[in-house]
Structure 1
Amino acid sequence: MKAFIHPTAIVEDGAIIEDDVIIGPYCTISSGCKIGKGTKLISHVVVDGNTSIGKNNTISPFAVLGGKTQDLKYKGGSPGVKIGDNNTIREYVTINAATYDGDYTIVKNNCLIMAYSHIAHCCNIGNQVIIANAVQIAGHVTVEDQATIEGMVGIVQFLRIGRMAFVGGLSKVSKDLPPFMIAHGDPIDVRGFNKIGMERKGCSEESKKSIKEAYRILYRSKESTSSAIIRLENEIDMTDELRSLIDFCKSSSKGIIR
Protein backbone atom coordinates (compact mmCIF):
# COMPACT_ATOMS: atom_id res chain seq x y z
CA MET A 1 0.00 0.00 0.00
CA LYS A 2 1.23 3.47 -0.81
CA ALA A 3 2.33 5.60 2.14
CA PHE A 4 -0.26 7.84 3.77
CA ILE A 5 0.90 11.37 4.53
CA HIS A 6 -1.54 13.61 6.39
CA PRO A 7 -2.19 16.94 4.64
CA THR A 8 -0.80 18.88 7.60
CA ALA A 9 2.50 16.96 7.65
CA ILE A 10 5.62 18.48 6.09
CA VAL A 11 7.81 16.05 4.15
CA GLU A 12 10.72 17.76 2.46
CA ASP A 13 11.84 16.86 -1.04
CA GLY A 14 14.47 14.14 -0.92
CA ALA A 15 13.03 12.27 2.05
CA ILE A 16 12.51 8.58 1.31
CA ILE A 17 9.14 7.26 2.48
CA GLU A 18 8.55 3.56 1.81
CA ASP A 19 5.23 1.77 1.28
CA ASP A 20 2.77 1.28 4.15
CA VAL A 21 4.21 4.18 6.13
CA ILE A 22 1.69 6.36 7.98
CA ILE A 23 2.73 9.94 8.70
CA GLY A 24 0.14 11.57 10.92
CA PRO A 25 -0.86 15.18 11.50
CA TYR A 26 1.77 17.88 11.91
CA CYS A 27 4.81 15.62 11.52
CA THR A 28 7.97 17.10 9.99
CA ILE A 29 10.38 14.96 7.96
CA SER A 30 13.64 16.50 6.72
CA SER A 31 15.10 15.88 3.29
CA GLY A 32 17.89 13.56 4.44
CA CYS A 33 15.62 11.09 6.24
CA LYS A 34 14.37 7.62 5.37
CA ILE A 35 11.25 6.00 6.87
CA GLY A 36 10.97 2.22 6.42
CA LYS A 37 7.98 0.16 5.39
CA GLY A 38 5.13 -0.11 7.88
CA THR A 39 6.40 2.53 10.28
CA LYS A 40 3.76 4.77 11.86
CA LEU A 41 4.34 8.33 13.05
CA ILE A 42 1.20 9.08 15.04
CA SER A 43 1.36 12.91 15.05
CA HIS A 44 3.66 15.87 15.79
CA VAL A 45 6.82 13.78 15.28
CA VAL A 46 10.02 15.46 14.08
CA VAL A 47 12.51 13.38 12.08
CA ASP A 48 15.51 15.55 11.31
CA GLY A 49 18.97 15.52 9.77
CA ASN A 50 20.53 12.29 8.53
CA THR A 51 18.09 9.85 10.13
CA SER A 52 17.16 6.36 8.96
CA ILE A 53 14.20 4.53 10.52
CA GLY A 54 13.57 0.87 9.70
CA LYS A 55 10.40 -1.17 9.36
CA ASN A 56 7.29 -1.43 11.53
CA ASN A 57 8.17 1.14 14.17
CA THR A 58 5.56 3.13 16.09
CA ILE A 59 6.56 6.66 17.06
CA SER A 60 4.35 8.69 19.38
CA PRO A 61 3.59 12.42 19.43
CA PHE A 62 6.31 15.00 20.04
CA ALA A 63 9.23 12.60 19.69
CA VAL A 64 12.26 14.26 18.08
CA LEU A 65 14.60 11.89 16.24
CA GLY A 66 17.86 13.03 14.72
CA GLY A 67 18.12 16.47 16.26
CA LYS A 68 21.59 18.03 16.29
CA THR A 69 23.94 16.77 18.97
CA GLN A 70 24.33 18.82 22.14
CA ASP A 71 28.04 17.93 22.16
CA LEU A 72 30.14 21.10 21.86
CA LYS A 73 32.76 19.15 19.89
CA TYR A 74 30.42 19.05 16.89
CA LYS A 75 32.14 20.66 13.89
CA GLY A 76 29.59 20.10 11.14
CA GLY A 77 29.22 17.37 8.56
CA SER A 78 26.43 14.81 8.44
CA PRO A 79 26.36 12.61 11.54
CA GLY A 80 23.04 10.90 12.07
CA VAL A 81 20.72 8.42 13.73
CA LYS A 82 19.96 4.84 12.70
CA ILE A 83 16.87 3.15 14.14
CA GLY A 84 16.12 -0.48 13.31
CA ASP A 85 12.84 -2.41 13.11
CA ASN A 86 9.85 -3.05 15.38
CA ASN A 87 10.62 -0.38 17.96
CA THR A 88 8.09 1.55 20.03
CA ILE A 89 9.13 5.12 20.79
CA ARG A 90 6.77 6.98 23.09
CA GLU A 91 5.88 10.62 23.67
CA TYR A 92 8.56 13.33 23.91
CA VAL A 93 11.50 10.96 23.41
CA THR A 94 14.62 12.66 22.04
CA ILE A 95 17.32 10.74 20.17
CA ASN A 96 20.16 13.02 19.14
CA ALA A 97 22.47 12.64 16.16
CA ALA A 98 26.09 11.61 16.64
CA THR A 99 28.87 14.18 16.93
CA TYR A 100 31.30 13.34 14.14
CA ASP A 101 30.71 13.25 10.41
CA GLY A 102 29.82 9.72 9.33
CA ASP A 103 29.01 8.49 12.84
CA TYR A 104 25.57 7.45 14.07
CA THR A 105 23.56 7.18 17.23
CA ILE A 106 22.06 3.68 16.99
CA VAL A 107 18.90 2.02 18.27
CA LYS A 108 18.62 -1.55 17.02
CA ASN A 109 15.47 -3.72 16.94
CA ASN A 110 12.46 -4.54 19.14
CA CYS A 111 13.10 -1.86 21.76
CA LEU A 112 10.60 -0.03 23.95
CA ILE A 113 11.62 3.54 24.74
CA MET A 114 9.10 5.16 27.06
CA ALA A 115 8.03 8.79 27.39
CA TYR A 116 10.40 11.69 28.07
CA SER A 117 13.55 9.59 27.70
CA HIS A 118 16.70 11.07 26.16
CA ILE A 119 19.34 9.18 24.18
CA ALA A 120 22.32 11.42 23.52
CA HIS A 121 24.93 11.52 20.76
CA CYS A 122 26.86 8.41 19.75
CA CYS A 123 24.91 5.99 21.96
CA ASN A 124 24.44 2.39 20.86
CA ILE A 125 21.22 0.75 22.09
CA GLY A 126 20.98 -3.00 21.44
CA ASN A 127 18.09 -5.32 20.65
CA GLN A 128 15.07 -5.88 22.93
CA VAL A 129 16.08 -3.11 25.31
CA ILE A 130 13.48 -1.54 27.61
CA ILE A 131 14.06 2.08 28.60
CA ALA A 132 11.37 3.31 30.98
CA ASN A 133 9.98 6.82 31.46
CA ALA A 134 12.33 9.81 31.78
CA VAL A 135 15.59 7.86 31.55
CA GLN A 136 18.47 10.20 30.66
CA ILE A 137 21.35 8.58 28.78
CA ALA A 138 24.44 10.71 28.19
CA GLY A 139 26.69 10.50 25.15
CA HIS A 140 28.67 7.45 24.00
CA VAL A 141 26.77 4.99 26.22
CA THR A 142 26.32 1.38 25.09
CA VAL A 143 23.28 -0.58 26.28
CA GLU A 144 23.58 -4.24 25.34
CA ASP A 145 20.79 -6.58 24.23
CA GLN A 146 17.84 -7.31 26.52
CA ALA A 147 18.84 -4.84 29.23
CA THR A 148 16.13 -3.06 31.24
CA ILE A 149 16.46 0.46 32.63
CA GLU A 150 13.68 1.59 34.97
CA GLY A 151 12.26 5.09 35.24
CA MET A 152 14.21 8.29 35.88
CA VAL A 153 17.64 6.66 35.76
CA GLY A 154 20.63 8.82 34.83
CA ILE A 155 23.58 7.25 33.02
CA VAL A 156 26.95 9.01 32.80
CA GLN A 157 28.68 9.32 29.42
CA PHE A 158 30.94 6.58 27.97
CA LEU A 159 29.50 3.81 30.15
CA ARG A 160 28.17 0.35 29.29
CA ILE A 161 25.13 -1.53 30.52
CA GLY A 162 25.65 -5.24 29.96
CA ARG A 163 23.38 -7.77 28.32
CA MET A 164 20.26 -8.59 30.32
CA ALA A 165 21.32 -6.25 33.13
CA PHE A 166 18.63 -4.46 35.14
CA VAL A 167 18.88 -0.93 36.55
CA GLY A 168 16.33 0.01 39.21
CA GLY A 169 14.43 3.28 39.08
CA LEU A 170 15.91 6.62 40.20
CA SER A 171 19.46 5.25 40.09
CA LYS A 172 22.59 7.12 39.03
CA VAL A 173 24.86 4.90 36.93
CA SER A 174 28.47 6.07 37.18
CA LYS A 175 30.39 2.89 36.27
CA ASP A 176 29.86 -0.04 33.91
CA LEU A 177 27.18 -2.56 34.94
CA PRO A 178 28.17 -6.14 34.02
CA PRO A 179 25.80 -8.45 32.13
CA PHE A 180 23.01 -10.18 34.06
CA MET A 181 23.42 -8.03 37.18
CA ILE A 182 20.72 -6.03 39.02
CA ALA A 183 21.78 -2.63 40.33
CA HIS A 184 19.92 0.12 42.17
CA GLY A 185 20.45 3.27 44.18
CA ASP A 186 22.46 6.47 44.46
CA PRO A 187 25.22 5.63 45.09
CA ILE A 188 24.44 2.60 42.99
CA ASP A 189 25.34 -0.92 43.99
CA VAL A 190 24.65 -4.42 42.71
CA ARG A 191 21.83 -6.18 44.58
CA GLY A 192 21.76 -9.56 42.84
CA PHE A 193 21.73 -11.27 39.48
CA ASN A 194 18.83 -11.21 37.05
CA LYS A 195 17.54 -14.74 37.58
CA ILE A 196 14.00 -13.93 36.47
CA GLY A 197 15.22 -12.21 33.32
CA MET A 198 17.44 -15.16 32.46
CA GLU A 199 14.54 -17.56 32.97
CA ARG A 200 12.25 -15.48 30.75
CA LYS A 201 14.87 -15.42 28.00
CA GLY A 202 15.31 -19.19 28.13
CA CYS A 203 18.80 -19.40 29.61
CA SER A 204 19.84 -22.88 30.69
CA GLU A 205 20.16 -24.05 34.29
CA GLU A 206 23.92 -24.31 33.77
CA SER A 207 24.04 -20.69 32.65
CA LYS A 208 22.01 -19.46 35.60
CA LYS A 209 24.19 -21.43 38.00
CA SER A 210 27.38 -20.01 36.50
CA ILE A 211 26.10 -16.44 36.79
CA LYS A 212 24.93 -17.03 40.36
CA GLU A 213 28.41 -18.22 41.28
CA ALA A 214 29.97 -15.30 39.43
CA TYR A 215 27.77 -12.90 41.40
CA ARG A 216 28.88 -14.51 44.67
CA ILE A 217 32.57 -14.15 43.81
CA LEU A 218 32.34 -10.65 42.34
CA TYR A 219 30.02 -9.14 44.93
CA ARG A 220 30.08 -11.24 48.08
CA SER A 221 33.80 -11.86 48.44
CA LYS A 222 36.37 -9.23 49.36
CA GLU A 223 38.48 -9.91 46.28
CA SER A 224 39.73 -7.14 44.03
CA THR A 225 38.10 -7.10 40.61
CA SER A 226 41.19 -8.55 38.93
CA SER A 227 41.48 -11.35 41.50
CA ALA A 228 37.76 -12.09 41.26
CA ILE A 229 38.00 -12.42 37.47
CA ILE A 230 40.80 -14.98 37.84
CA ARG A 231 38.58 -16.98 40.18
CA LEU A 232 35.68 -16.79 37.72
CA GLU A 233 37.86 -18.29 35.02
CA ASN A 234 39.31 -21.04 37.20
CA GLU A 235 36.56 -22.06 39.63
CA ILE A 236 33.31 -22.06 37.63
CA ASP A 237 32.28 -24.29 34.73
CA MET A 238 32.41 -22.02 31.70
CA THR A 239 29.22 -21.07 29.85
CA ASP A 240 28.64 -18.54 27.09
CA GLU A 241 26.97 -16.22 29.59
CA LEU A 242 29.87 -16.44 32.03
CA ARG A 243 32.37 -15.84 29.25
CA SER A 244 30.49 -12.70 28.17
CA LEU A 245 30.49 -11.43 31.75
CA ILE A 246 34.23 -12.05 32.15
CA ASP A 247 35.04 -10.39 28.83
CA PHE A 248 32.88 -7.40 29.77
CA CYS A 249 34.68 -6.92 33.08
CA LYS A 250 38.12 -7.29 31.50
CA SER A 251 37.36 -4.71 28.83
CA SER A 252 35.84 -2.10 31.16
CA SER A 253 37.71 1.20 30.91
CA LYS A 254 35.60 2.95 33.56
CA GLY A 255 35.51 0.16 36.11
CA ILE A 256 32.51 -1.95 37.04
CA ILE A 257 29.92 -1.24 39.71
CA ARG A 258 30.91 -3.16 42.85
Structure 2
Amino acid sequence: MIHQLAAVDKRAKIKKNVIVEPFTTIAGDVEIGEGTWIGPNVTIMDGARIGKNCKIFPGTVIAGIPQDLKFEGEDSQVIIDDNTTIRESVTVNRGTKALGYTRIGKNCLIMATSHIAHDCVIGDNVVIVNGCGIAGHVEIGDFTVMGGLSAVHQFGKIGKHVMISGGTLVRKDIPPYVKVAREPMSYAGINSVGLRRRGFTNDKIFEIQKIYRYLFQSKMNITQASALIEKEMLPTAERDEILEFIRNSPRGIVKGYGTGRE
Protein backbone atom coordinates (compact mmCIF):
# COMPACT_ATOMS: atom_id res chain seq x y z
CA MET A 1 0.00 0.00 0.00
CA ILE A 2 3.09 2.26 -0.03
CA HIS A 3 3.79 3.65 -3.50
CA GLN A 4 7.25 2.93 -4.87
CA LEU A 5 7.83 6.65 -5.41
CA ALA A 6 7.23 7.46 -1.73
CA ALA A 7 10.25 7.87 0.57
CA VAL A 8 9.39 6.03 3.80
CA ASP A 9 12.00 5.41 6.49
CA LYS A 10 12.15 1.72 7.44
CA ARG A 11 11.91 2.63 11.13
CA ALA A 12 8.46 4.22 10.72
CA LYS A 13 5.67 2.20 12.38
CA ILE A 14 2.91 1.94 9.82
CA LYS A 15 -0.14 -0.24 10.52
CA LYS A 16 -2.24 -2.31 8.11
CA ASN A 17 -4.28 -0.82 5.29
CA VAL A 18 -2.38 2.48 5.26
CA ILE A 19 -2.06 4.05 1.81
CA VAL A 20 0.94 6.26 1.09
CA GLU A 21 0.78 8.03 -2.27
CA PRO A 22 3.79 8.99 -4.44
CA PHE A 23 6.31 11.71 -3.61
CA THR A 24 5.45 11.63 0.07
CA THR A 25 8.23 11.61 2.67
CA ILE A 26 7.85 9.86 6.05
CA ALA A 27 10.62 10.06 8.67
CA GLY A 28 11.70 7.30 11.05
CA ASP A 29 10.13 8.44 14.34
CA VAL A 30 6.59 8.26 12.98
CA GLU A 31 3.56 6.11 13.83
CA ILE A 32 0.50 5.85 11.58
CA GLY A 33 -2.69 3.95 12.51
CA GLU A 34 -4.76 1.51 10.45
CA GLY A 35 -6.77 2.72 7.49
CA THR A 36 -5.13 6.14 7.19
CA TRP A 37 -4.61 7.67 3.76
CA ILE A 38 -1.53 9.82 3.15
CA GLY A 39 -1.85 11.76 -0.09
CA PRO A 40 0.90 12.69 -2.53
CA ASN A 41 3.54 15.29 -1.71
CA VAL A 42 2.96 15.10 2.05
CA THR A 43 5.87 15.51 4.49
CA ILE A 44 5.60 13.72 7.84
CA MET A 45 8.57 14.45 10.08
CA ASP A 46 9.95 12.92 13.26
CA GLY A 47 7.55 13.00 16.20
CA ALA A 48 4.30 12.47 14.29
CA ARG A 49 1.71 10.16 15.86
CA ILE A 50 -1.26 9.77 13.51
CA GLY A 51 -4.32 7.73 14.45
CA LYS A 52 -6.69 5.43 12.57
CA ASN A 53 -8.70 6.34 9.47
CA CYS A 54 -7.20 9.79 9.06
CA LYS A 55 -6.83 11.56 5.71
CA ILE A 56 -3.83 13.81 5.02
CA PHE A 57 -4.05 15.75 1.76
CA PRO A 58 -1.26 16.94 -0.61
CA GLY A 59 1.22 19.62 0.44
CA THR A 60 0.67 19.14 4.18
CA VAL A 61 3.63 19.16 6.58
CA ILE A 62 3.14 17.34 9.88
CA ALA A 63 5.55 17.66 12.85
CA GLY A 64 7.84 20.34 11.50
CA ILE A 65 9.98 21.86 14.23
CA PRO A 66 8.38 24.81 16.08
CA GLN A 67 8.73 28.33 14.71
CA ASP A 68 9.90 29.38 18.15
CA LEU A 69 13.34 30.83 18.89
CA LYS A 70 13.27 29.17 22.33
CA PHE A 71 13.17 25.70 20.76
CA GLU A 72 16.41 23.84 21.47
CA GLY A 73 15.91 20.63 19.54
CA GLU A 74 14.15 18.74 22.34
CA ASP A 75 12.13 15.62 21.53
CA SER A 76 8.45 16.42 21.08
CA GLN A 77 5.44 15.23 19.14
CA VAL A 78 2.40 16.00 17.04
CA ILE A 79 -0.53 13.76 17.99
CA ILE A 80 -3.45 13.47 15.55
CA ASP A 81 -6.32 11.35 16.83
CA ASP A 82 -8.58 8.99 14.86
CA ASN A 83 -10.84 9.98 11.94
CA THR A 84 -9.36 13.45 11.48
CA THR A 85 -9.01 14.98 8.02
CA ILE A 86 -6.27 17.49 7.22
CA ARG A 87 -6.66 19.18 3.87
CA GLU A 88 -4.16 20.65 1.43
CA SER A 89 -1.04 22.54 2.54
CA VAL A 90 -1.78 22.58 6.26
CA THR A 91 1.20 22.89 8.63
CA VAL A 92 1.15 21.39 12.14
CA ASN A 93 4.27 22.04 14.25
CA ARG A 94 5.35 19.77 17.06
CA GLY A 95 5.60 20.89 20.69
CA THR A 96 8.37 22.43 22.73
CA LYS A 97 9.55 21.62 26.25
CA ALA A 98 6.69 23.80 27.52
CA LEU A 99 4.15 21.04 26.82
CA GLY A 100 5.98 18.47 24.74
CA TYR A 101 3.33 17.98 22.07
CA THR A 102 0.76 19.55 19.79
CA ARG A 103 -2.53 17.64 19.71
CA ILE A 104 -5.51 17.52 17.35
CA GLY A 105 -8.47 15.49 18.60
CA LYS A 106 -10.81 12.96 16.97
CA ASN A 107 -13.14 13.64 14.05
CA CYS A 108 -11.65 17.05 13.27
CA LEU A 109 -11.56 18.79 9.90
CA ILE A 110 -8.61 21.13 9.32
CA MET A 111 -9.16 22.88 5.99
CA ALA A 112 -6.58 23.98 3.43
CA THR A 113 -3.62 26.26 4.22
CA SER A 114 -4.31 26.56 7.94
CA HIS A 115 -1.42 26.64 10.43
CA ILE A 116 -1.39 25.06 13.89
CA ALA A 117 1.64 26.10 15.93
CA HIS A 118 3.58 24.42 18.72
CA ASP A 119 1.98 23.24 21.97
CA CYS A 120 -1.60 23.73 20.80
CA VAL A 121 -4.35 21.44 22.08
CA ILE A 122 -7.41 21.13 19.85
CA GLY A 123 -10.40 19.11 21.04
CA ASP A 124 -12.64 16.60 19.27
CA ASN A 125 -15.04 17.41 16.40
CA VAL A 126 -13.41 20.79 15.73
CA VAL A 127 -13.66 22.43 12.30
CA ILE A 128 -10.97 24.92 11.29
CA VAL A 129 -11.84 26.55 7.99
CA ASN A 130 -9.40 27.57 5.26
CA GLY A 131 -6.48 29.87 5.96
CA CYS A 132 -6.68 30.09 9.75
CA GLY A 133 -3.60 30.88 11.84
CA ILE A 134 -3.37 29.42 15.34
CA ALA A 135 -0.39 30.64 17.36
CA GLY A 136 1.50 28.66 20.00
CA HIS A 137 -0.02 27.35 23.25
CA VAL A 138 -3.63 27.82 22.11
CA GLU A 139 -6.44 25.63 23.50
CA ILE A 140 -9.62 25.02 21.48
CA GLY A 141 -12.57 23.11 22.96
CA ASP A 142 -14.68 20.34 21.42
CA PHE A 143 -17.17 21.12 18.62
CA THR A 144 -15.78 24.59 17.96
CA VAL A 145 -16.02 25.97 14.41
CA MET A 146 -13.40 28.55 13.44
CA GLY A 147 -14.31 30.62 10.38
CA GLY A 148 -11.89 31.05 7.48
CA LEU A 149 -8.95 33.46 7.69
CA SER A 150 -9.32 33.83 11.45
CA ALA A 151 -6.28 34.11 13.71
CA VAL A 152 -5.79 33.28 17.40
CA HIS A 153 -3.24 35.05 19.61
CA GLN A 154 -0.72 32.87 21.44
CA PHE A 155 -1.88 31.37 24.75
CA GLY A 156 -5.49 32.00 23.74
CA LYS A 157 -8.28 29.79 25.10
CA ILE A 158 -11.49 28.96 23.28
CA GLY A 159 -14.25 26.99 25.00
CA LYS A 160 -16.46 24.18 23.72
CA HIS A 161 -19.26 24.66 21.16
CA VAL A 162 -18.00 28.08 20.03
CA MET A 163 -18.72 29.57 16.60
CA ILE A 164 -16.13 32.09 15.35
CA SER A 165 -17.04 34.31 12.40
CA GLY A 166 -14.72 34.30 9.39
CA GLY A 167 -11.83 36.76 9.49
CA THR A 168 -11.99 37.22 13.25
CA LEU A 169 -8.89 38.32 15.18
CA VAL A 170 -9.07 36.41 18.46
CA ARG A 171 -7.16 38.53 20.98
CA LYS A 172 -9.19 37.54 24.06
CA ASP A 173 -10.43 34.22 25.40
CA ILE A 174 -13.84 32.96 24.24
CA PRO A 175 -16.00 31.17 26.83
CA PRO A 176 -18.08 28.08 25.92
CA TYR A 177 -21.32 27.99 23.89
CA VAL A 178 -21.09 31.43 22.27
CA LYS A 179 -20.74 33.06 18.86
CA VAL A 180 -18.23 35.85 18.26
CA ALA A 181 -17.94 38.27 15.37
CA ARG A 182 -17.17 41.90 14.40
CA GLU A 183 -13.94 43.88 14.66
CA PRO A 184 -12.82 44.19 17.32
CA MET A 185 -14.14 40.75 18.26
CA SER A 186 -17.20 40.76 20.50
CA TYR A 187 -19.93 38.47 21.79
CA ALA A 188 -22.69 37.86 19.22
CA GLY A 189 -25.11 35.62 21.13
CA ILE A 190 -24.98 31.97 22.05
CA ASN A 191 -24.42 29.23 19.49
CA SER A 192 -28.02 28.02 19.70
CA VAL A 193 -28.10 26.38 16.25
CA GLY A 194 -24.99 24.34 16.99
CA LEU A 195 -26.26 23.38 20.44
CA ARG A 196 -29.60 22.14 19.05
CA ARG A 197 -27.79 20.07 16.44
CA ARG A 198 -25.84 18.41 19.24
CA GLY A 199 -28.88 17.53 21.32
CA PHE A 200 -29.11 20.38 23.84
CA THR A 201 -32.67 20.86 25.06
CA ASN A 202 -34.51 24.18 24.90
CA ASP A 203 -34.37 24.43 28.69
CA LYS A 204 -30.62 24.00 28.67
CA ILE A 205 -30.21 26.57 25.89
CA PHE A 206 -32.36 29.06 27.83
CA GLU A 207 -30.19 28.47 30.91
CA ILE A 208 -27.03 29.25 28.93
CA GLN A 209 -28.69 32.35 27.44
CA LYS A 210 -29.57 33.58 30.94
CA ILE A 211 -25.96 33.20 32.08
CA TYR A 212 -24.67 35.27 29.18
CA ARG A 213 -27.33 37.94 29.69
CA TYR A 214 -25.92 38.45 33.17
CA LEU A 215 -22.38 38.55 31.78
CA PHE A 216 -22.85 40.73 28.71
CA GLN A 217 -26.21 42.54 28.87
CA SER A 218 -26.33 43.74 32.46
CA LYS A 219 -24.66 46.85 33.86
CA MET A 220 -22.31 44.71 35.96
CA ASN A 221 -18.70 43.93 35.21
CA ILE A 222 -17.64 40.32 34.67
CA THR A 223 -16.62 39.77 38.29
CA GLN A 224 -19.92 41.10 39.64
CA ALA A 225 -21.98 39.15 37.09
CA SER A 226 -20.10 35.92 37.85
CA ALA A 227 -20.78 36.31 41.56
CA LEU A 228 -24.48 36.91 40.93
CA ILE A 229 -24.73 33.88 38.62
CA GLU A 230 -23.13 31.70 41.28
CA LYS A 231 -25.51 33.06 43.92
CA GLU A 232 -28.81 33.03 42.02
CA MET A 233 -28.55 30.11 39.57
CA LEU A 234 -28.55 26.47 40.55
CA PRO A 235 -25.28 24.66 39.88
CA THR A 236 -25.23 22.71 36.62
CA ALA A 237 -22.41 21.33 34.49
CA GLU A 238 -22.82 24.19 31.99
CA ARG A 239 -23.01 26.95 34.60
CA ASP A 240 -19.94 25.64 36.39
CA GLU A 241 -18.02 25.19 33.12
CA ILE A 242 -18.62 28.81 32.11
CA LEU A 243 -17.67 30.19 35.53
CA GLU A 244 -14.57 27.99 35.71
CA PHE A 245 -13.50 29.16 32.24
CA ILE A 246 -13.81 32.81 33.29
CA ARG A 247 -11.86 32.22 36.51
CA ASN A 248 -9.04 30.56 34.56
CA SER A 249 -8.73 33.20 31.84
CA PRO A 250 -5.64 35.32 32.55
CA ARG A 251 -6.07 37.18 29.24
CA GLY A 252 -9.70 38.05 30.00
CA ILE A 253 -12.75 37.07 27.97
CA VAL A 254 -14.28 38.65 24.87
CA LYS A 255 -16.24 41.87 25.35
CA GLY A 256 -20.03 42.16 25.17
CA TYR A 257 -21.60 43.51 22.00
CA GLY A 258 -22.14 47.20 21.78
CA THR A 259 -20.62 47.91 25.18
CA GLY A 260 -16.90 48.09 24.48
CA ARG A 261 -16.49 46.61 27.97
CA GLU A 262 -14.40 43.52 28.58
**Smaller-chain TM-score bracket:** over 0.9
Is 2:79 the partner of 1:61? no
SS in structure 2 opposite 1:95?
A: strand
Structure 1 segments of 4 or more deviating over 4 A? Answer: none
232-241 or 70-79, which moves further after superposition? 232-241
**Does 2:4 match 1:19?**
no
Give the Cα separation in 1 of the matches to 2:253 and 2:235: 21
CA contact (8 A) 1:78 1:101 kept: no
2:105 to 103, 108, 111: 108
Q: Is the 8 A contact 1:80 1:102 kept in 2?
A: no
Once the two structures are superposed, residues 54-105 of structure 1 have per-residue CA deviations (whole angstroms, 9 ceiling, x without a partner) of: 0000111001000010011101121110110000100000000112287100
Alpha-carbon deviation of 1:241?
1.6
What's the CA shift string for 1:23-48, capped at 9, x where partnerless? 01111100000111000012111110
Check if 1:212 corresponds to 2:198.
no
One-letter code aligned to 2:153: V
Match of 2:260 in 1: none
Query: Hey, what's the Cα distance between the residues in 1 that align with 2:38 and 2:2?
Result: 10
Normalising to structure 1: TM-score of the pair?
A: 0.96
Match of 2:49 among 49, 52, 58: 52
When normalised by structure 2's length, the TM-score is 0.95
What residue ranges of structure 2 are gaps of 5+ in the alignment? Answer: 256-262
Deviations 1:167-218 (CA, angstroms, capped at 9, x unpaired): 1000100010000010012210011000111101101223211110011111
Contact 1:180/1:194 (8 A) holds in 2: yes
| Contact 2:98/2:119, CA 8 A, preserved across alignment | no
1:182 aligns to what SS in structure 2? strand
1:159-238 to structure 2, matched below 5 A, reads 159-238=156-235
Answer yes or no: is the 8 Å Cα contact 2:146–2:163 preserved in 1.
yes
Match of 1:149 in 2: 146
1:89 pairs with 2:86: yes
Per the alignment, residue 34 of structure 1 pairs with 31
> Structure 1: how far apart are the matches of 2:240 and 2:142?
16
Q: 2:99, 2:119 within 8 Å by CA — same for their partners in 1?
A: no
| Matching of residue 249 in structure 1 with residue 246 in structure 2 | yes
- 1:7 paired residue number: 4
- Superposed CA offset, 1:144-183 (max 9, x none): 1111100000100001110001110001000100000100
What are structure 1's unaligned runs of at least 5 residues?
none
Identical-pair percentage: 38
- The match for 1:136 is 133
| AA aligned opposite 1:112 | L
Structure 2 CA distance for aligned equivalents of residues 189 and 62 of structure 1 = 34
User: Is the 1:207–1:240 Cα contact (8 Å) retained in structure 2?
Assistant: no
Alignment coverage as a number of residue pairs: 255
CA distance in 2, matches of 1:139, 1:61: 24
8 Å contact kept, 1:125–1:142: yes
When the two chains are superposed, the root-mean-square deviation of aligned CA atoms in Å is 1.1
- Residue 102 and residue 239 in structure 1: after superposition, are their counterparts in 2 closer, same or farther (change >3 A)? closer
Q: Secondary structure at the match of 2:187?
A: strand
CA distance in 1, matches of 2:45, 2:182: 35
